[in-house]
A and B are shown apart, each in its own frame.
Chain A
Amino acid sequence: MGRDFYRMLGILTGILGGLLIAVILIMITKTNGNPRSEYDERQMAARGQGYKYGFFTFMIGDAVYAVLTSGFEQLPLCAASAMGLIIILSLLVHISYCIWHDAYFSLNENQQRLKVIFALVGLVNLALSIVSICAGEMVVDGVLQINSLNLFCTAMALTVMAELALKYRKGGAWEDEGEA
């Protein structure tokens, strides 16, 4: 029972706790109690397209990272941060595509609750980022540490919220645009 065991136990507990919270959050954002998101056929097609762009973003990001790591002795961010950044960028591409093609919110989604959750996620990550920066754990020897993922998550939450606000700025998602 070494230190490594407890470290792994802590990480596993964290992952399980995170999954549990995610499931609860998914359930409370649905209007009909069904945890599954229900999309119509056009939304499914658009989400598939968005997924494709997100996937390509991931591959390109991965390739760029491989080239950069072979070209530089030390990147200004650690491997975990770089991987996290690539994942978040890919997610953002997928989410953005879905938002602009009206395929982000499912038919059984409570949009307001989801927006509140996004705001909370952004705030929690922002708070964790500030704590890391104040403790001097964000950047060590000029290298961004894994704590920077909180900062990236904050940026993603802010970007998504800004996109949602822009997309539905005319008075809500359900305004009858083009129905005149």
Chain B
Amino acid sequence: MKNLRLKAARALMDMSQQELADAVHVSRQTINAIEKGDYNPTIRLCRAICRVLGKGLDELFWEDDESEG
């Protein structure tokens, strides 16, 4: 399941995958995998991403039927 909200939040901050990856100290491919839904990050990484993007966990990572496609 793609995480479009993460992608949108990142775009809103005008950050590339590489910039976000550097900020949370992971590889760009890991950010790509999270956005594509290929990798389910740990709560620790979720929190780090939320902190950088200024969002809450619910906003980026909580799945609900309406917003996840």
Interface residues, chain A, with chain B CB atoms under 8 Å away: 40-43, 102, 105, 107, 174, 176-179
Contact = CB atoms under 8 A, between A and B. Distances in A.
Contact of A176 (B17, B41, B45): B17
Contact of B33 (A42, A105, A174, A179): A42
Contacts of B41: 41-42
Interface in B30-52: 30, 32-33, 35-36, 39, 41-42, 44-45
Contacts of B36: 178
A46 B69 CA distance: 26
B55 to A, nearest CB: 19
Nearest to B32: A178
Contacts of A107: 25-27
25 contacts: A40-B27, A40-B30, A41-B26, A41-B44, A42-B27, A42-B29, A42-B30, A42-B33, A42-B39, A42-B41, A43-B27, A102-B27, A102-B29, A102-B33, A105-B27, A107-B25, A107-B26, A174-B18, A176-B16, A176-B18, A176-B28, A176-B32, A178-B35, A179-B16, A179-B17
A134 B35 CA distance: 55
B11 to A, nearest CB: 10
Contacts of B28: 174, 176
Contacts of B16: 176, 179
A41 B45 contact: yes
A132 to B, nearest CB: 40
A40 B44 CA distance: 12
